[in-house]
Structure 1
Amino acid sequence: MHLNEEKVGLLIVDIQGTLARRVSDSEAMICKTAKLIQCCKLLDIHVVVLEQNPDGLGGTVHEIETHVASDPHFKKFAFNGVAGIDQFSSEILAYIGKKGLSRWLVVGIEAHVCVYQTVVGLLENDFAVEVIHDCISSRESSNALLAIDNMRERGAQISSFEMTVFELLQSSRHPKFREVLALIK
């Protein structure tokens, strides 16, 4: 199934506080995620930010927050952001359901905990999911690899930052091609 920019959203999971700096390859993950966000904004793709217990863990890191400050932010406490097991995850699920978007790109940390459980929750709620592997991480890279395998087995598509962006563009004749290309380089 091809990505269609009119039916896709970007879900950012918990890229917060000092933990975001302690995951494997954190600088590269944060940098690629920031670029992906900018590309999504150019393509008018809806962005949603989740934050796990922000009072305890801190807010979304500055490099990302600068690009998403005006986008909806949701506080959560359940690892599965769309579990529907508490007021917070129920609000998140209701919100993304109202957007009418059938496919969600998912990025964030930690891959084997909140990203994994949120992806499974999305899939269980009949959303298509594309996990951007170079925009997720865990403290131990082996946990991220295990999460990717398990998410794929559950039905998520696994992609990369560039692969996703070029699939969204579909052609060098896309009106935003040059602007997106400038972000990738």
Structure 2
Amino acid sequence: MLKGDQTVFVLVDVQGKLARIVHESEKLVKNLTDLIQGLQILNIPIIWVEQYPEGLGPTLEEVSQHLEGMKPIPKLTFDACKNESFIQALKKSGRTQILVAGIEGHICVHQTSMGLHDMGYEVQVVADAISSRTLENKEIGLAKMKAAGMTITSVETALFEIMHSAEGEQFKQLIKLLK
């Protein structure tokens, strides 16, 4: 179970033209924005990475507009764990449970999740908030991560696990968001 005081969210490479051509791109963007806004309601820290932004372009505006005041960490490696700035941000969070979403599921999401898992973090991959150019590649990435011991979750499952209870102002905000 995800715990609010132990969870950090890692957003992986939702950038440029690639983000527009992945399988079910519009659904991905909707689920990511719901997830980001829900995590912000729940005060969960977010670490945001971009793969070679000079070449792939910036994070989609529909997503980045919800990350106001934050800056993405640029990377060249598919596994964000091979980037020192990412590792520093992760350690600074002090969290041990990592929620991961983004693109592509079989490349950067997979390799980053594996890197986090190998470092001893509890990794949960948000299946309805990741994608690849093809459904088959997304499914291959999810299968490999699950086989390696990572938990596969969904936007609503993750948010309600962190919430724990159907009471209070955060719950009301979350319900309004997800309607």
TM-score (ref. length: structure 2): 0.97
- Counterparts of residues 56-135 of structure 1 (less than 5 Å): 56-83=55-82, 89-135=83-129
Whether the 8 Å CA contact 2:47–2:89 is kept in 1: the answer is no
Q: Distance in 2 between matches of 1:147 and 1:141?
A: 10
Q: Distance in 1 between matches of 2:89 and 2:157?
A: 27
Q: Secondary structure at the match of 2:4?
A: coil
CA deviation vs aligned residue, 1:125-148 (integer Å, no higher than 9, x gap) = 111111000000000100110110
Aligned to 1:51: 50
Q: Distance in 1 between matches of 2:118 and 2:70?
A: 25
CA deviation vs aligned residue, 1:96-120 (integer Å, no higher than 9, x gap) = 0121100111000000000000000
144, 167, 174: which one pairs with 1:173?
Answer: 167
Q: Secondary structure at the match of 1:50?
A: strand
Letter in 2 for 1:135: A
Q: Distance in 2 between matches of 1:132 and 1:9?
A: 13
Whether the 8 Å CA contact 1:7–1:102 is kept in 2: the answer is yes
Q: Secondary structure at the match of 1:101?
A: coil
TM-score (ref. length: structure 1): 0.94
Equivalent pairs: percent with the same residue? 34
1:169 Cα deviation from its structure 2 partner: 1.0
Aligned to 1:34: 33
Aligned to 1:151: 145
Letter in 2 for 1:159: T
Q: Distance in 1 between matches of 2:156 and 2:38?
A: 10
Q: Distance in 2 between matches of 1:74 and 1:30?
A: 20
Q: Distance in 2 between matches of 1:25 and 1:64?
A: 15
Whether the 8 Å CA contact 1:47–1:72 is kept in 2: the answer is no
Q: Secondary structure at the match of 1:48?
A: strand
Structure 1: runs of 5+ lacking an equivalent = 84-88
Q: Secondary structure at the match of 1:112?
A: coil
Letter in 1 for 2:113: V
Letter in 2 for 1:57: L
1:175 Cα deviation from its structure 2 partner: 3.5
Structure 2: runs of 5+ lacking an equivalent = none
Whether the 8 Å CA contact 2:127–2:153 is kept in 1: the answer is yes
- Runs of 4+ aligned residues of structure 1 deviating over 3 Å after TM superposition are none
2:136 paired with 1:137: no
Whether the 8 Å CA contact 1:22–1:139 is kept in 2: the answer is yes
Q: Distance in 1 between matches of 2:8 and 2:102?
A: 14
Q: Distance in 2 between matches of 1:18 and 1:153?
A: 30
1:71 Cα deviation from its structure 2 partner: 2.1
Aligned length: 179
Q: Distance in 2 between matches of 1:70 and 1:153?
A: 36
